[in-house]
Amino acid sequence: MADPSNTNVPRHVAIIMDGNGRWARARGLPRTMGHKKGVEAVREVVRAAGDIGISYLTLFAFSSENWRRPEAEVTDLMGLLKAFIRRDLADLHRENVRIRIIGERENLRSDILPLLLEAEETTKANTALTLVIAFNYGSRDEISRAMRAIGRRIAAGEIAPEAVTPELIDAHLDTAGIPDPDLIIRTSGEERLSNFLLWQAAYSELVFVPEYWPDFDRDLFLKTLEKFAGRERRFGGLTPASILAGE
């Protein structure tokens, strides 16, 4: 299906799924409905990413700052994530999707951590799309944890301070082994990274789209990828839309 030598298709796409609350408010609905509709968009985009031949898709599901939201909303988001893993894990596994979780794992509630670990364990040998779920994730927290780990290795005499290179830092981040994102998309018109993949975004193309996350469907995803293809390279390769059209 997808031609891996096609440089117009990003290898790694990361998405800040923003605007669930505003989507709901614009319709006079409770915020929960926006998150619920947001999960449907997640399903559609994960499937499309696999079809297009994207190798890594990272979704910002819950930030370390999201705990500050009202308790009812936090519970709702947790419930949706748990339901997603419970209901969709078998399908994702069947579709050869490998799941990776990034973010702080310590102190996670006992009802969520085992599910996340199970999703990773079940799918670890899969070879199609890698779906990276950023949960309880904050980039500065991730970098701090990496620095502490490196500091401990230096203190133990295992490595010299001179051994600290970008590659060594990469290897201590939650994203170790995952290539940097080629493209970072944020929905809802906000134009900032909000503590998402700050280190990894050094050379990423950034595309901000005005639509709220629940409205982000396959077509919009394709349009956004077209924008990336046009912006970055014009080597005459295939575009994501023409791959899907079987051209």
Just list the catalytic residues: 18, 66
Strand 12-16 relative to strand 183-186: parallel, antiparallel, unpaired? Answer: parallel
Q: Which residue is nearest to ligand FPP (CB)?
A: 21
Q: What is each CA distance from 231 to 8, 34, 138, 205, 222, in whole angstroms?
A: 10, 31, 28, 9, 14
Stretch that binds ligand FPP, among 75-83, 112-120, 145-153, 165-173 (CB under 6 A): 75-83
How many residues bind ligand FPP (CB under 6 A)? The answer is 18
What minimum distance in Å lies between the beta carbon of 17 and ligand FPP?
5
Q: Is position 31 annotated in a ligand binding site?
A: yes
| 108-147: contacts with ligand FPP (CB under 6 A) | 133
| 149-168: contacts with ligand FPP (CB under 6 A) | none
Q: Is position 142 annotated in a ligand binding site?
A: no
What minimum distance in Å lies between the beta carbon of 69 and ligand FPP?
8
Q: Is position 64 annotated in a ligand binding site?
A: yes
| 35-54: contacts with ligand FPP (CB under 6 A) | 35, 38-39, 42
Site pattern 170..209 for ligand FPP (x: CB under 6 A): ----------------------------------------
- 32 binds ligand FPP, rule: CB under 6 A: no
Q: Name the amino acid, one letter, at 164.
A: V
**70 vs 78: CA distance, rounded Å:** 13
Could you tell me which of 111, 175, 105, 99 has the C-alpha nearest to residue 143? 175
Strand 98-102 relative to strand 130-137: parallel, antiparallel, unpaired? Answer: parallel
Stretch that binds ligand FPP, among 6-14, 79-87, 158-166, 168-176 (CB under 6 A): 79-87
Task: Find where tokens 């190798």 sit.
Answer: 55
User: Could you write out the DSSP letters of every residue in 138-201?
Assistant: -HHHHHHHHHHHHHHHHHTTSS-GGG--HHHHHHHSTTTTSPPPSEEEE-TT----TTSSTTTT
Q: Is position 65 annotated in a ligand binding site?
A: yes
Check residue 98 and give left, alpha or beta (phi > 0: left; psi -120 to 50: alpha): beta
Task: Determine the distance from the C-alpha atom of residue 244 to the mean position of all C-alpha atoms in its chain, rounded to a whole number.
Answer: 22
| 4-23: contacts with ligand FPP (CB under 6 A) | 17-22
Contact residues: ligand FPP, CB under 6 A: 17-22, 35, 38-39, 42, 59, 61, 66, 77, 80-81, 84, 133
Binding site for substrate: which residues?
19-23, 31, 35, 63-65, 67, 69, 186, 192-194
